[in-house]
Amino acid sequence: MWLSGPAADSHMEDRGEDGKISLRFVTTNRGKVDFLRVVLESAAADSILQSVEMCDMELPELQADSVAKICAAKTEAAFRLLGGNVVVQDSGFVIEALNGFPGPYTKYVLSTIGVDGLLKLMDGQLNRRCGFAACVGFADARGISC
């Protein structure tokens, strides 16, 4: 998806004098920022990366049926608000026996029926496999990638 508007126009080339880029990670979770820094350091990204800055802000969250769709919408919103090189992450808890539920609805499910409610949904289920679906989005003036 190509982006246009004031944010895109004012950040066509968001690099420092040394040619390195700065990333703005839009999240309220410092642990996510620290984890991204570790991943980038292990990938030897320091040759192109100047810094990773935490932008502690809530973004509007699209109600959608997939973590990827939510992440793409949040990434676009972050770019429109901040411009530059933005990173957004979204995830959801998935339970195999429940066909991936609650997935993108994790926050809502936990705030309504809670863990006890999820456990009740699992009554009689032998398959206890579960995990997280995650998506990382990046946007700059050239577009969005998730």
Tally of domains in the chain: 1
CATH number, domain at 129? Answer: 3.90.950.10
Is the pLDDT reported for residue 1 higher than 60?
no
In a domain, 1, yes or no: no
**61 lies in some domain:** yes
Six token digits for residue 100: 């991936």
| Distance (Å) of CA 35 to CA 22, 40, 41, 42 | 16, 9, 10, 11
CA 87 – CA 144 distance, rounded (Å) = 10
In a domain, 60, yes or no: yes
Question: Checking phi first, is residue 105 left (phi over 0); if not, alpha (psi -120 to 50) or beta?
Answer: alpha
Q: Is residue 92 part of a domain?
A: yes
User: Concatenated DSSP letters for 85-145?
Assistant: SEEEEEEEEEEGGGTT-EETTHHHHHHHTHHHHHHHHTTT-----EEEEEEEEEEETTEEE
> Is residue 112 a part of any domain in this protein?
yes
Confidence check: pLDDT of 9 > 50:
no
- Residue 74 buriedness (CB in 10 A; 0-12 / 13-18 / 19+): buried
Mean pLDDT computed over 2-22: 58
Residue 48 belongs to domain spanning: 6-145
Q: Is the pLDDT of residue 4 over 50?
A: no
Spatial CA neighbour of 60 closest among 44, 77, 38: 77
Name the band, by pLDDT with cuts 50, 70 and 90, for residue 16.
Answer: low
Is 0.95 surpassed by the pTM of this model?
no
**3-state secondary structure at position 15:** strand
pLDDT tens column, 85-139: 999 999 999 999 999 999 999 999 999 999 999 999 999 999 999 999 999 999 9
- The single residue of 9, 65, 90, 116 carrying the catalytic annotation is 90
For the stretch 27-66, pLDDT in tens is: 999 999 999 988 888 887 777 888 899 999 999 888 899 9
Is position 46 annotated as part of the catalytic site?
no
Residue 37 lies in a domain: yes
